[in-house]
Amino acid sequence: MKFSANLGFLWNDRPLPEAIRAAKAAGFDAVECHWPYDIPADEVKAALRETGLPMLGLNTRRGDVNAGDNGLSAIPGREAEARAAIDEAIAYATAIGTSKIHVMAGFANGHEAHQCFVANLQYACTQAAPHDITILIEPLNKYDAAGYFLTTTEQALAIIEAVAAPTLKLMFDCYHVQLMEGDLTHRIEALLPWIGHIQFASVPDRGAPDHGEINYDHVFELTRRLGYDSPLGAEYKPGGNTDDTLGWLNRPVADSV
């Protein structure tokens, strides 16, 4: 089983290049991040080259965080900002060799927001295609991100079908999906053709995957049985020293399934 460390949460008390090195030392097979833009791309690329770890993905900027933004691409009237964020993400991903970009929708609702999101995603897919970059969309739960436009896998699938681009995929975060929909086994099985990345954390506290209401031994075995062989993204909040939460990574199930 392969695992990716999401450095938005894990070792996020360190500069990104140092966090990449920490992930390598801990035994992860890959890394991913949220918003790396304040770190020069050449520094990140050097750390990736040194460790041999791929950077699987990054997010578009949220917008004006102080004003409450959490993404821009589903907000009518802010298309120019949304597309600038998409262009920035593609440029950074290309510079460091990242193959996936999560385009964040933002706080919005209604048909106009849906149309806006579809149009911006079509733009993102067109711009990313020459660079062999996959665009991801991720449903977020209503408890952590109240008012976020994209909340369910059913809604995400409708958007993917409307955009009609082969490079648009679903980010299936087990934590968010469990809180909003449950039934993870059947949803992963049904949605596998549209899944571009899988992430995980315990429910309900978003901690390490060794407690809570989800049996991750089962989830990890399920993905293996279905033939999903990309690294699974550990996007959980360690609540302290990341290294102290990694017992799950070296458990027999993680090595044997």
Asked if the model's pLDDT at residue 254 lies above 80, the reply is no
Asked if the model's pLDDT at residue 255 lies above 50, the reply is no
Contact 20, 7 (CB under 8 A): yes
Asked if the model's pLDDT at residue 128 lies above 70, the reply is yes
Asked if the model's pLDDT at residue 256 lies above 70, the reply is no
For 229-239, the pLDDT digits (tens) are 999 999 999 99
Looking at the chain, the whole-number percentage of residues with pLDDT higher than 90 is 96
State yes or no: is 81 an active-site residue.
no
Residues 217-228, mean pLDDT to the nearest whole number: 97
Residues 187-200, mean pLDDT to the nearest whole number: 98
For residue 152, what pLDDT band results from cuts at 50, 70 and 90? very high
For 31-89, the pLDDT digits (tens) are 999 999 999 999 999 999 999 999 999 999 999 999 999 999 999 999 999 999 999 99
Residues 169-175, mean pLDDT to the nearest whole number: 98
* Domains parsed from the chain with CATH numbers: 3-256 (3.20.20.150)
pLDDT score, position 252? 53
Written as one string, the DSSP assignment of 87-145 is HHHHHHHHHHT--EEE--B-B--SHHHHHHHHHHHHHHHHHHGGGT-EEEE----TTTS
Asked if the model's pLDDT at residue 257 lies above 50, the reply is no
Partnered with residue 173 across adjacent β-strands are 199
The whole-model pTM stands at 0.96
State yes or no: is 138 an active-site residue.
yes
For residue 127, give every residue at least 6 positions away whose Cβ sits within 8 Å of its Cβ, in sequence order, or none. Answer: 86, 87, 90
* Active-site annotation holder among 18, 32, 81, 138: 138
Asked if the model's pLDDT at residue 154 lies above 60, the reply is yes
Contact 153, 191 (CB under 8 A): yes
For residue 142, what pLDDT band results from cuts at 50, 70 and 90? very high
* Active-site annotation holder among 18, 50, 112, 235: 235
For residue 14, what pLDDT band results from cuts at 50, 70 and 90? very high
Residues 189-215, mean pLDDT to the nearest whole number: 98
Residues 93-118, mean pLDDT to the nearest whole number: 98
